[in-house]
Amino acid sequence: MNIGGYPSSSSVWSAKFCGCGGDAKTCLITCCLPCVTFGQIAEIVDEGKSSCASQGCVYGLLMMISCHWFYSCVYREKLRKKYGLASEPCCDCCVHFCCDSCALCQEHQELKLRGHDPSKGWIGPPTTNQPPMPPTMYK
């Protein structure tokens, strides 16, 4: 059952935690400029209500005082709730505290596998391959 737009059951992540997001480019960007990857994730999770640039700047500022992991764990929780994902391999804050880059790569890849392109930003819900309904089928 779908309550409040969020799936009610926990499902398994499609992207692996230590799989570098399955994309060397994302892995490299995340290792060198994690604020970019975080900003892209945050923009998609917030459905365009915040920008990649503003979220990336906040993340970058928090990196200066080593608190960025806490901010990114908040967005991991939002992502998990949005897609009904399990808290794996452990709680969100532990995941980001222990390996922030791996967590960001996994979240970035998860969004890609769910039909979003974080590098393009929020452009609306992912499109499906369903044919359009004929005009007579609309209510």
| Spatial distance between the Cα atoms of 95 and 24, rounded to a whole number of angstroms | 21
What φ, ψ does residue 2 adopt, rounded to 5°?
-100, 115
pLDDT score of 128: 55
Domain assignment present for 49: yes
Domain assignment present for 1: no
Domain assignment present for 13: no
Per-residue pLDDT band for 4 (boundaries 50, 70, 90) equals very low
Domain assignment present for 103: yes
pLDDT score of 137: 52
Domain assignment present for 4: no
Q: How many domains does the chain have?
A: 1
| CB-neighbour burial class of residue 40 (10 A; exposed 0-12, middle 13-18, buried 19+) | buried
Domain assignment present for 125: no
Per-residue pLDDT band for 77 (boundaries 50, 70, 90) equals very high
Domain assignment present for 132: no
pTM of the model: 0.79
Average pLDDT over residues 44-52: 92
* End-to-end Cα spacing for the chain: 23
Domain that holds residue 80: 24-115
Express as a percent the part of the chain with pLDDT over 90: 48
In this predicted model, what pLDDT tens digit does every residue of 13-45 receive, in sequence order?
A: 877 777 775 688 888 999 999 999 999 999 999
Structure tokens, 90: 């452990």
The per-residue pLDDT of the chain, averaged, comes to 83
**Is-contact 40 118, C-beta < 8 A?**
yes
Contacts of 21 (CB under 8 A, 6+ apart): 15, 27, 30, 105, 106, 108, 109, 112
pLDDT score of 8: 42
Which letter does DSSP use for residue 134 in this model? P
Domain assignment present for 10: no
| Spatial distance between the Cα atoms of 20 and 32, rounded to a whole number of angstroms | 13
Average pLDDT over residues 86-93: 85
